[in-house]
Amino acid sequence: MTTAQKPTGAVGKPLDRVDGKTKTTGAAEFAAEHTYPGLAHAALVHATISRGRITALHTDDASAVPGVITVLTHRNAPPLEPVPKTSPLDLSSMVSGTSVDYLQTDEVYWDGQPIAVVVAENAAAANQAAALVRAEYAPSEAAVDFTGAEANARPQPSSPIMPAGAKKGDAEEALAAAPVALDLRFTTPPHNHNALEPHATVAVWDGDRLTVHEPTQAIDWFRAHLAARFGLPADDVRVLSPFVGGGFGGKGAVWPGTILTALAARATGRPVRLALSREGVYRTVGGRTPSIQRVAVGASHDGKLTALVHTSVTRTGRVGGFPEPVTTQSQHLYAAENILLEQKLVRLDLLPNIPMRAPGEAIGTFALECAIDELAYELDIDPIELRLRNEPEANPLDGKEFSLRTLAESYRQGAARFGWHERTPEPRSMRDGRWLVGMGAASAYHPAGYFTADITVRLSADGTVLVRCGFQEIGTGGATAQAQIAADALSVPFQAVHVEYGDSALPKGPFAGGSMQTATVAASLLEACKKLKRSLRTMARRTGGDSHEEVLRRANVPHIEAKVGSSTQLGRKSDQARFMLRLARDRRRWVRASTGAHFCQVRVDPDTGEVRVTRWTGVFSIGTVVNPKSAVSQLRGGIVMGLGMALSEETLVDPRTGRIMNPSLSEYHIPVHADVPPIDVSFLGTPDPTMPGGILGAGELGITGVAAAVANAVHHATGKRVRDLPISVDKLL
């Protein structure tokens, strides 16, 4: 590990995660494990058409199963308030997975939509009964074939926060005039998050107060959504989410299971648990959109880019979905004279898509970074050298300042660590026994920013510090990192800090998304610590005393506390306004991102086309590295997910029926131990001067660029360009 930081305090030290023991002893209690007296169990019945109406639902056989309490359908379910309209002025409105009013209508919007819920005394009875519900439908015409719908794509809705395109000069004209030009088409398939913990909900009503245990990446937004759907004040909803068994975006929205569990609990007057099966997750939790992308590049013979065109077609559902910002990285990576970026969308009768680790950049970097590699071969210039020749000094589109730009340094350090100079550029020129060997490189890019968070920090006379903020621990080691930051800010030992999180009863935490949680919580934490120190200084002037413990003892107060943020209605509104203003201001001033360079070595079996990734090096810039141990894990985790995307992952949607055909971990192949080589991760460690504590994001950066690095290495090994993910053996034979 190389890092420019010299840790003097806790920040920058590779400390063990504070919840390590809880997680290695089986003591960590995940949502599905919460139990209550009288707990009933729910199971979902899923629609088997993509669009239409339910004409009959036969529930008698299901109701007759011993132990069944009720079968809820659109005919007998209690009412629900409609889904709140999405508004940029209320970020919590982004949390609706779909706009469907579950069990309030006979309409079906996707294959897999829940059309009934069985509640029973035990899970086995609920599951058995759910399988006995029979539905009859009047199907209507459905559009479910993504590739077939390409011609109908419309421009994505554009906003200042998420522009759907960008333009500089006339890229098409420059492309036509370029001495060397390539015009390429890439495709990526749908993906599913496949967090190892399937979504689960335990819902309990106490009069008109609702408590929900559920793994979520967005406790506060989740609570706001539930309150809106059940017509409650937000304070009457409590969401507990102390452990989240992996999220990757899939737990960043409210999906039908959650709403229906709370509805079932209200209907039966019983606490209800719904633990989704793996198939249930595929049918009711959106995944990553597929994409069709065009990347066209034009260059002079010495490798200066004169034209860069990147366009994308992705999909959303007719009842919701997230327009994926596929061309984001193409705004910022290369100093092309002319740039044209366009994102288009088709709307299909499928379960709406949702962000999955680095939405946009994960698939966008695949197309862009493969195209750059292809151009390098066309020009006979080393692919890294070509990137360095086009490294911009300011944002290529508009000349805006980069807050921190270290990509060239990542390439220089990475090339040395990896041994790039040993690579002979000719495809099929390197061998290891009978295996073909290839090396490939690609850039990693992920935008950075931060939300707002409320926090309280309490300093006690016994020397301990209590930090309280309702953020989410989704595996990043958040509590450990924030304890490190608090320890340094207050000059106390790391062990003296305790962090409470994962509960809506705590001060409002941020969404764990966009790789923004660590910086967001840090911003409020640092501000609160500053306030505390100010109060202490004031106190010390009166009491005297060398340490804060001494000051508090002399003042005869057990503790002092500092707060950032307000939970009142007005406080929340002004919070939101401040966030939007800051976002707009920051975007005018800087382009902020975490970046890095990937180096991949593969070997390919010349007879079977089997690709094995044998070596990996990544050098990244994530600003201040709060905890190098958990930060390395974040980057490795992204790279591992990228390996799956490159080589094996694909959600198969039947283009005739819209049904997901491989809703299981035995048919959707995520990387296993044997697929993952030792991954060498290092950081440049330069703090970003514009971010709280100098911290950029780490969670999503790792996956960006990975599939391109693999594809480029596969080309180097075999001479074959695979532009359609995943790079499965059939494409290499």
Partner 1 sequence: MEISLRINGSAETLEVQPQVSLLDALRDQLGLTGTKKGCDQGACGACTVLSDGARITSCLALAVQYEGHEITTIEGVDHPLQEALVRADGLQCGYCTPGQICSAIGMLAEHKEGMASAVTEDDEVDELDEEEIRERMSGNLCRCGAYNGIVEAIKEVAG
Task: State the nearest-atom distance from the C-beta of 638 to partner 1, in Å.
Answer: 7
Displacement of CA 337 from its chain's centroid (Å): 32
- The H or E element spanning position 408 is helix 407-418
| Dihedral angle of Cα 328, 333, 335, 338, to the nearest 10 degrees | -30
- The smaller minimum CB distance to partner 1, of residues 594 and 630, is found at 630
Tokens of 691: 């971010």
Cα–Cα distance, 486 to 728 (Å, whole number): 47
- The smaller minimum CB distance to partner 1, of residues 294 and 669, is found at 669
Q: Are 317 and 143 in contact (CB under 8 A)?
A: no
Task: State the nearest-atom distance from the C-beta of 597 to partner 1, in Å.
Answer: 19
Task: State the nearest-atom distance from the C-beta of 245 to partner 1, in Å.
Answer: 3
Q: Are 718 and 428 in contact (CB under 8 A)?
A: yes
Q: In DSSP terms, which residues pair with 613 in a beta bridge?
A: 602
Task: State the nearest-atom distance from the C-beta of 625 to partner 1, in Å.
Answer: 14
Task: State the nearest-atom distance from the C-beta of 24 to partner 1, in Å.
Answer: 4
Cα–Cα distance, 199 to 516 (Å, whole number): 23
The amino acid sitting at 493 is: P
Locate tokens 């975490």: which residue?
594
- The smaller minimum CB distance to partner 1, of residues 527 and 700, is found at 700
Task: State the nearest-atom distance from the C-beta of 673 to partner 1, in Å.
Answer: 4
Q: Which residues are catalytic?
A: 700
- The smaller minimum CB distance to partner 1, of residues 41 and 229, is found at 41
- Return the ∠ at Cα 191 (arms to 188 and 192), rounded to 5°: 175
Cα–Cα distance, 711 to 371 (Å, whole number): 11
Helix pair angle (517-543, 478-490), 10° resolution? 30
> Cβ of 243: how many Cβ atoms within 10 Å?
20
- The smaller minimum CB distance to partner 1, of residues 177 and 672, is found at 672
Cα–Cα distance, 76 to 73 (Å, whole number): 6
433, burial (CB in 10 Å: exposed 0-12, middle 13-18, buried 19+): exposed
List, as one string, the DSSP characters of 600-626: EEEEE-TTT--EEEEEEEEEEE-BS-S
- The smaller minimum CB distance to partner 1, of residues 278 and 553, is found at 278
Task: State the nearest-atom distance from the C-beta of 257 to partner 1, in Å.
Answer: 15
- The smaller minimum CB distance to partner 1, of residues 375 and 622, is found at 622
Cα–Cα distance, 520 to 506 (Å, whole number): 16
- The smaller minimum CB distance to partner 1, of residues 100 and 132, is found at 132
Length of the chain in terms of residues written: 733
- The smaller minimum CB distance to partner 1, of residues 127 and 395, is found at 127
Task: State the nearest-atom distance from the C-beta of 193 to partner 1, in Å.
Answer: 8
The amino acid sitting at 543 is: T
Which parts of this chain interact with partner 1 (CB under 8 A)?
A: 16-17, 19-30, 32-33, 35, 122-124, 193-198, 243-248, 275, 277-278, 474-477, 629-630, 632-634, 636-641, 664-666, 670-674, 676, 678-679
206, burial (CB in 10 Å: exposed 0-12, middle 13-18, buried 19+): exposed
Cα–Cα distance, 357 to 442 (Å, whole number): 18
Among the residues of 237-395, which ranges form H helices? 256-268, 278-284, 328-332, 361-379, 383-389
List, as one string, the DSSP characters of 452-500: ---EEEEEETTS-EEEE-B---SSS-HHHHHHHHHHHHHT--GGGEEEE
Strand residues in 129-271 grouped as ranges (E) = 134-139, 154-155, 165-168, 180-188, 200-206, 209-213, 237-240
Q: In DSSP terms, which residues pair with 108 in a beta bridge?
A: 52
- The smaller minimum CB distance to partner 1, of residues 35 and 140, is found at 35
Task: State the nearest-atom distance from the C-beta of 695 to partner 1, in Å.
Answer: 19
Task: State the nearest-atom distance from the C-beta of 108 to partner 1, in Å.
Answer: 26
- The smaller minimum CB distance to partner 1, of residues 33 and 81, is found at 33
Q: How far is CA 411 from CA 161, 408, 677, in A?
A: 30, 5, 21
β pairing state of 305-317 and 291-299: antiparallel
Task: State the nearest-atom distance from the C-beta of 449 to partner 1, in Å.
Answer: 23
